[in-house]
Amino acid sequence: MTINSTQVSYFVLGAYLDTGMFKYLCFMIILCLYVLIISANVFLIVIICMNRSLHEPMYLFLVSLFANELYGSTGLFPLLLVQILSDVHTVSYSLCFLQIFCLYSYVCVEFLNLAVMSYDRYLAICHPLQYKTSMTSKKVATLIALAWLFPSLMIVVLISLSAPLQLCGNIINKVTCGNYAIVKLTCTETRINNIYGLIHTIISIITPLILILYTYMRILKVCFSGCKQSRQKAVSTCTPHLASILNFSFGCCFQIVQSRFYVSSVPSMLDIILSLYFLTCQPLFTPLLYGLKMSNIRILCQQLLFGEV
């Protein structure tokens, strides 16, 4: 039964704070961050694509990861910059769901990319003799395609369940559009949405994390039983990946908790910063981490930027 439902044509993003003249400073800081993210990720994609010595599975998976950082940033920053300068923080109905598709698919693709990369490291470290025959070009292309297409299909289903809902309001207490925030505005039964949301979380987030945990348990077992040289090599290639997983997982877990449970003791500004953490820090953290920690990429970057051999 529908109670006081309204035809919603736009949403109000109610979590933005009135920063007065500081909004221009915030705008410049966010713009510089966006430009830095775009530059860092594009630069590393070009480095890997232009050097045939890096045309190996591990680096091709990195290209997929960097491309996803660009995609997720584009789903967030342009609208965020407009909202910072705006005195009326509204977003159209269709644009709100478009942002949901971009941000949610970005998260799912990120986790699947990280899971595929952990599987690649598992094969390289635990089964080095069979690695080249196991990780063929066709298999690499298939894994990358699945990491992008499967989440997109799941998000399309998620949105198709949420978009027809009859709503009793249009105020979203966030700085970005969120599917669960819209579902909470509905006047009708949302059991199907909640069930699918749970299934989606299990498949898109929990399952990749379990795969990552399993592969790294096997990798650690091999490392501790191997010689010092093999252990050091494994650590050097896995450290950036593990750091990226921990950083992204922390941000996502906080976002899920923040979306489901309202914590009044957290200051509004801190709440906004933490809610955007995984969308702003991960796209910058990932290219810098891999660029600094992986010697092959670091050397090529130095040669390109400074002419060092």
Q: Which residues contact 99 (CB under 8 A, 6 or more apart)?
A: 75, 76, 79, 91, 176, 177
158-193: per-residue pLDDT in tens?
Answer: 999 998 888 888 888 888 898 988 988 888 888 899
199-223: per-residue pLDDT in tens?
Answer: 998 998 899 999 999 998 888 887 7
Q: What is the mean pLDDT of residues 287-308?
A: 70
Asked if residue 277 belongs to a domain, the reply is yes
Higher pLDDT, 192 or 308: 192
Asked if residue 3 belongs to a domain, the reply is no
Q: What is the mean pLDDT of residues 109-134?
A: 90
250-266: per-residue pLDDT in tens?
Answer: 878 777 776 666 555 55
| Least confident span in 65-79, 105-119, 131-145, 210-224 | 210-224
| Least confident span in 45-59, 65-79, 179-193, 262-276 | 262-276
Give the model's pLDDT for residue 145: 95
What is the amino acid identity at position 239? T
**CATH number, position 141:** 1.20.1070.10
User: What does each C-alpha distance from 105 to 72, 101, 139, 232 come to in angstroms?
Assistant: 8, 6, 22, 35
d(CA 51, CA 76): 31
Q: Which domain holds residue 214?
A: 10-306
| Least confident span in 148-157, 174-183, 227-236 | 227-236
Question: Count of alpha carbons within 13 Å of 170, Cβ hemisphere only?
Answer: 14
Give the model's pLDDT for residue 228: 66
Q: What is the mean pLDDT of residues 271-280?
A: 78
Q: Which residue in 142, 138, 135, 137 sits closest to 119, CA to CA?
A: 135
Asked if residue 100 belongs to a domain, the reply is yes
How many C-beta atoms lie closer than 10 Å to residue 282's C-beta?
A: 25
d(CA 206, CA 197): 13
Task: For 148, list phi and psi in degrees, rounded to 5.
Answer: -95, -40
Give the model's pLDDT for residue 3: 44
d(CA 94, CA 91): 8
Asked if residue 244 belongs to a domain, the reply is yes
Task: For 28, list phi and psi in degrees, rounded to 5.
Answer: -65, -40
Number of folded domains in the chain? 1
SS3 309: coil
Q: What is the mean pLDDT of residues 37-47?
A: 90
Task: For 178, list phi and psi in degrees, rounded to 5.
Answer: -135, 140
b/e 34-50 (16+ beta carbons within 10 angstroms → b): beebbebbebbbebbee
Asked if residue 288 belongs to a domain, the reply is yes
* Residue reference for tokens 């500004």: 269
What are the beta bridge partners of residue 91?
Answer: 11
Q: Is the pLDDT of residue 273 over 80?
A: no
Asked if residue 146 belongs to a domain, the reply is yes
Give the model's pLDDT for residue 1: 36
Q: Is the pLDDT of residue 68 over 60?
A: yes
Give the model's pLDDT for residue 291: 74
Ordered DSSP codes for 92-123: EHHHHHHHHHHHHHHHHHHHHHHHHHHHHHHH
Asked if residue 4 belongs to a domain, the reply is no
33 pLDDT tier (thresholds 50, 70, 90): very high
* Residue reference for tokens 């929990």: 206
Asked if residue 1 belongs to a domain, the reply is no
2 pLDDT tier (thresholds 50, 70, 90): very low
Give the model's pLDDT for residue 307: 60
231 pLDDT tier (thresholds 50, 70, 90): low
Q: What is the mean pLDDT of residues 218-235?
A: 72
**C-beta of residue 269 within 8 angstroms of C-beta of residue 212:** no
